Amino acid sequence: MASYTTVPGSSSFITNMNDLGLSAFSSRSSVFSIPKCRKSVFKKIVSVMAPKQSQREPATTGSVKTAMTMTEKIMARASERPQLNPGENVWVNVDTLMTHDVSGSGCFAIFKREFGENAKVWDREKIVVIPDHYIFTADELANRNVDILRDFCLEQNIKHFYDIKDRSDFKANPDYKGVCHIALAQEGHCRPGQVLLGTDSHTCTAGAFGQFATGIGITDAGFVLGTGKLLLKVPPTLRFVMDGEMADYLLAKDLILQIIGEISVSGATYQTMEFVGTTVESLSMEERMTLCNMVIEAGGKNGVIPADATTFKYLEDKTSVPYEPVYSDERARFLSEYRFDISKLEPLVAKPHSPDNRALARECKDVKIDRVYIGSCTGGKTEDFMAAAKVFLNSGRKVKVPTFLVPATQKVWMDLYSLPVPGSGGKTCSQIFEEAGCDTPANPSCSACMGGPKDTYARMNKPMVCVSTTNRNFPGRMGHKEGQIYLASPYTAAASALTGYVTDPREFLQ
Ligand code: SF4
C-alpha cells in the first residue's frame, strides 16, 4: 500500500511510504505509528557458551537461495550460515572490537573476571582502543581510565591503541587520534561487509562503509574480548530511499533530522536503517557517516549504506586488509520503505529536548541563543568545518555569540590549519574562523558533546541556549540539566553564530 503524508510544520516532501510488511512482521499502516510495548519474559541464564565454529567460509553472496538484505548477508557470512531471517539469534564472528576510555576499564574488568586474570584476548590485532571522551581534564578518575587502557593494551600487546601520554600538548602524541568513530574511519578500521562492534552507541557510524556496526554493552564486550564472538538477533530492515538533488544549503545532518522527526526516537528500535537513492550516492563518506551516526537516535540497531566507488576511493590508502562488500538483493524483504524527495527539503533543527523534535530552522528565528558548538563525531569532521567556514566567508561578518570549535580528531585539527577553503583565495578554516571571531579550534576529543567533568572545554556549566552540531539534546547532555540544545547542521550552526539567533543558513548562502 502507499500513503501520502504531510509533515506538520515542515515541507511535505515525503512522496509516499510503501508498506512492504511480510509474513513474519505486521505491516505498518502509518508513518506515525508507534510500536506497542510488549511484556518480555526473562529466564535465568545458567550458562552461555559460543558454539564451536570452523574456519570462516567465503561469502554466501553468490549462492543465496532466498533474497536477503545487506545486513542479513553480513550477519549470515559472519555466522557461517547460508541463510538468515530477521529475528533469528546467531553467533557472529567479530571482525573488529572498539572500546574507549569511558567503557574500556569496565569491559576489561569483566573479561578478567570471566576468563581469568592471566587470560589473553582472542585476537590482539582485531581490538581497537581509542581514548577520546574525557581526556583534557584534571579529573583524576577520568585520567585513571586512560591509564587503565594503557596498562591493559601493554599487557595484551594490543596492536591498535591510540594513546595519549602528554595531555598538555596533544600534538606531542602522534598516536593520539581523538573521537573514536572518526578515528576508526581515518585509520582504516571500517571495511565493507565486515562486523564492527564497539562499546559506544554511535558505533553505528561505521555503517556508512557498508558494514554491520553497532554499539554493545561492556558485558558483551568482555565476552567478545575472550571469544571473538557475540550472540546477536538479526534485525529487520527499514529502507530509506532518498532521491533528488540536495540544495547547496543542506547537509546530511538535515537528512537525518528529517528522518528521525518522521519516525520518532523509537521508530527504528532494533531495526536496520538502510539508506539508498541518488541523494545518498552523491554524498561524500563524511556525510554518509553523519547519516549513519544518528540512526541510534531513532533506536536503530545499525545503519548501512551500500559501498560504492566513493567508499572504495576513501579506503584506497587506508587499509590493506581484504574485505568483500555485500548488497541487498533486489527481492530482499524490507519491513517498510520510506521515500523522500530531497529537492524539497529545507534546513532543519531538532529543538530541545529530543532529536525527533524537528522544526524548520526558519521557524525558530526568534530563538535567541547564547553559544554555538561545532564538533563531535556527528559534526566535527573536516567537511563540517569547511561548511561552517563557507558560511563565515560568505557573510564577511563576525560571530555574535561565543562559537566553540572542537575538531573530532588530530587529523581534522591539522586539516583546519592546512587545507584551503574553496573560493577563499587560499585561506584555511582556522584563518576564516579567526577573522569571524570564533574561539581557537580546541584539542581534538569528545569535549562537551557529552558534558564531561566540570573543567571540560565548552561544557555548559549553567543554563543556556546552544546551537550544536552534535547528535543528542536530552536534558543535561552537554552539562547543565537546564541547558537547551538545538541540534543543527554546520551551515545552520555557523549562520546562527553570526546572528545570535537560530538562523536558516540560506540567509548567508544564497
Ligand atoms: S563525540 Fe559525542 S556522541 Fe560522539 S563518541 Fe564522543 S561523546 Fe559520543
Residue 106 is assigned to a structural domain of this protein: yes
* Amino acid 37: pLDDT: 35
Residue 60 is assigned to a structural domain of this protein: no
**Contact in structure between 494 and 391 (CB atoms under 8 Å):** yes
**Contact in structure between 218 and 227 (CB atoms under 8 Å):** no
Residue 453 is assigned to a structural domain of this protein: yes
Task: Mark which of 293, 317, 343 sits at the end of a domain.
Answer: 343
Ligand 1: residue whose CA is nearest its atom 6: 446
The pLDDT > 90 percentage for the chain reads 87
> Does residue 358 share a domain with residue 324?
no
> Does residue 360 share a domain with residue 325?
no
How far apart, in whole angstroms, are the C-alpha atoms of residue 260 and residue 280?
Answer: 16
Amino acid at 437: G
Would you state the cell numbers that stand for residue 96, as one nine-digit string? 573488529
If you average pLDDT over every residue of the chain, what do you get?
Answer: 90
Backbone angles phi and psi of 349, in degrees to 5: -135, 165
User: pLDDT tens, 88-140?
Assistant: 999 999 999 999 999 999 999 999 999 999 999 999 999 999 999 999 999 99
Q: How far is the CA of 468 from the centre of ligand 1 (A)?
A: 13
Ligand 1: residue whose CA is nearest its atom 1: 376
> Does residue 400 share a domain with residue 289?
no
Q: How far is the CA of 508 from the centre of ligand 1 (A)?
A: 29
Sheet of 272-276, strand order:
2-3, 14-18, 336-341, 237-243, 272-276, 302-304
> What is the pTM for the complete model shown?
0.89
- Site residues for ligand 1, CB cut-off 6 Å: 133, 179-181, 200, 202, 376-377, 446, 449-450, 470-471
Q: Report whether pLDDT(190) > 90.
A: yes
Do the strands 229-233 and 89-93 form a parallel or antiparallel pair, or are they unpaired?
Answer: antiparallel
> Does residue 405 share a domain with residue 288?
no
> Does residue 116 share a domain with residue 247?
yes
User: pLDDT tens, 349-399?
Assistant: 999 999 999 999 999 999 999 999 999 999 999 999 999 999 999 999 999
* Amino acid 8: pLDDT: 31
> Does residue 353 share a domain with residue 428?
yes
Q: What is the three-class DSSP state of 394?
A: helix
> Does residue 229 share a domain with residue 95?
yes
Task: Mark which of 287, 321, 343 sits at the end of a domain.
Answer: 343
In the predicted model, what is the mean pLDDT of residues 336-351?
98
Tell me the best of 203, 373, 374, 376 to mutate to test the pocket of ligand 1, counting ligand atoms within 8 Å of each CB and taking the most.
376
In the predicted model, what is the mean pLDDT of residues 413-433?
98
* Amino acid 61: pLDDT: 52
Confidence class of residue 510 from pLDDT cuts 50, 70 and 90? confident
Ligand 1: which atom is nearest the Cα of residue 201? 8
Q: Please state the three-class secondary structure of 133-148 as a single string.
A: CCCCCCCHHHHHHHHH
Q: How far is the CA of 378 from the centre of ligand 1 (A)?
A: 8
* Amino acid 445: pLDDT: 98
How far apart, in whole angstroms, are the C-alpha atoms of residue 374 and residue 54?
Answer: 47
**Contact in structure between 268 and 304 (CB atoms under 8 Å):** no
The 10 Å Cβ neighbour count of residue 129 is: 23
The DSSP string of 368-425 is B-SEEEEEHHHH-SHHHHHHHHHHHHHH----SS-EEEE-SBHHHHHHHHHSBPTTTT
> Does residue 99 share a domain with residue 228?
yes
How far apart, in whole angstroms, are the C-alpha atoms of residue 156 and residue 509?
Answer: 52
> Does residue 366 share a domain with residue 321?
no
Angstrom distances, CA of residue 217 to CA of 89, 95, 96, 107, 180:
17, 17, 15, 8, 16
Q: Report whether pLDDT(85) > 90.
A: yes
> Does residue 154 share a domain with residue 291?
yes
Task: Mark which of 309, 343, 377 sits at the end of a domain.
Answer: 343
Residue 49 is assigned to a structural domain of this protein: no
Tell me the best of 443, 470, 472, 474 to mutate to test the pocket of ligand 1, counting ligand atoms within 8 Å of each CB and taking the most.
470
* Amino acid 1: pLDDT: 29
Name the domain count of the chain.
2
Confidence class of residue 65 from pLDDT cuts 50, 70 and 90? low
User: CB under 8 Å to 394, separation ≥6 — which residues?
Assistant: 508, 509
Residue 165 is assigned to a structural domain of this protein: yes
Residue 52 is assigned to a structural domain of this protein: no
Give the CATH number for residue 219. Answer: 3.30.499.10
> Does residue 311 share a domain with residue 402?
no
Residue 159 is assigned to a structural domain of this protein: yes
> Does residue 84 share a domain with residue 225?
yes
Nearest one of 315, 258, 248, 259 to 282, comparing CA atoms = 248
The pLDDT > 70 percentage for the chain reads 87
Task: For residue 486, give its domain range.
Answer: 348-508
Residue 40 is assigned to a structural domain of this protein: no
